[in-house]
Amino acid sequence: MSFISFSLLSLSIMITFQADAQAAQADTVWIKTYGGPMAQEGISLRQCADGGYILAGNADLGGSYLFYYMVRTDSTGDLYWDSVYEGEYYLAAAAAEETSDGGFLITGSESEMTVGYIYTIKTDQYGDPIWSRRHWGSSIAYTNCSSMIRTSDGYFALAGDHGGSYGCEAYFLVIDDDGTTIMETYPGESALNCYTYQYCVSETSDGFITGGRSNYWQPAAVALKLDESGEDQWYGLPDSTGSSDVYNSVLEMPDGSFIASGNHRDQNEDYDFFLSRFDCEGNLIFEECFGLPDHDEFVRDMILTADGGILMAGIRYQYDYYSTDIYLVKLDAAGDFQWDCLMGGPGYDKAGEIMELEEDTYLMTGTINTGADGWDVLLMKFMVTDEGVAHQEDPSPGAPPEITCYPNPCTEGGYVTVSLSCGEAVSIDVFDLSGRLVAQPATVLAPGTHAINWNVTDDAGSSLPDGVYTLTARSSAGTTCRRLVVLR
Summarize pLDDT for 414-435 with one digit per residue, the tens: 777 777 766 566 778 888 776 6
Higher pLDDT, 248 or 325: 248
pLDDT tens, 100-129? 999 999 999 998 877 788 999 999 999 999
| Closest-CA residue to 259 (of 240, 294, 286, 231) | 286
CB 297 within 8 Å of CB 271: yes
Asked whether the predicted pLDDT for residue 240 surpasses 80, the reply is no
CATH 2.130.10.10 at 5-385, yes or no:
yes
CB 70 within 8 Å of CB 56: yes
Do the first three CATH levels of 5-385 and 402-486 match, i.e. the same topology? no
Q: Which CATH class is domain 402-486?
A: mainly beta
Let me know the angle formed at the C-alpha of 164 by 163 and 167, rounded to the nearest 5 degrees: 70
- Complete edge-to-edge strand list for the sheet that includes strand 297-304: 297-304, 310-318, 323-331, 337-343
Cis peptide before 409 (omega within 30 of 0): yes
**Interatomic CA distance for residues 96 and 107, integer angstroms:** 6
**Interatomic CA distance for residues 334 and 75, integer angstroms:** 33
Output the pLDDT for position 429. 83
| φ/ψ of residue 306, rounded to 5 | -65, -25
Specify the DSSP element, H or E, that contains 190: helix 189-192
The ranges assigned to domains in the chain are 5-385, 402-486
CB 18 within 8 Å of CB 479: yes
Cis peptide before 441 (omega within 30 of 0): no
Asked whether the predicted pLDDT for residue 20 surpasses 90, the reply is no
CB 370 within 8 Å of CB 345: no
Q: In degrees to the nearest 10, what's the CA dihedral of 308, 314, 319, 322?
A: 160
Q: In degrees to the nearest 10, what's the CA dihedral of 151, 156, 159, 160?
A: 170
CB 464 within 8 Å of CB 454: no
Q: Express as a percent the part of the chain with pLDDT over 70.
A: 82
CB 313 within 8 Å of CB 340: no
Work out the average pLDDT over 459-475.
81
Specify the DSSP element, H or E, that contains 120: strand 115-123
pLDDT tens, 296-354? 899 999 999 999 999 999 999 875 556 788 999 999 999 999 988 888 776 788 999 99
Q: Express as a percent the part of the chain with pLDDT over 90.
A: 45
CB 58 within 8 Å of CB 41: yes
CB 323 within 8 Å of CB 346: yes
Q: Which of 16-20, 225-229, 397-401 has the lowest mean pLDDT?
A: 16-20
Count of CB atoms situated within 10 Å of the CB of 452 = 15
Question: With DSSP H G I counted as helix, E B as strand and the rest as coil, what are the percentages for the chain, rounded to 5?
Answer: 0, 60, 40
In sequence order, the β-bridge partners of residue 450 are: 418
Report CA-CA distances (Å) from 237 to 286, 297, 302.
11, 21, 19
Output the pLDDT for position 425. 67
Specify the DSSP element, H or E, that contains 79: strand 79-85
Of the pLDDT bands very low, low, confident and very high (cuts 50, 70, 90), residue 19 is very low
Higher pLDDT, 349 or 243: 349
Q: Is the four-CA dihedral 225, 227, 231, 234 of positive or negative sign?
A: negative
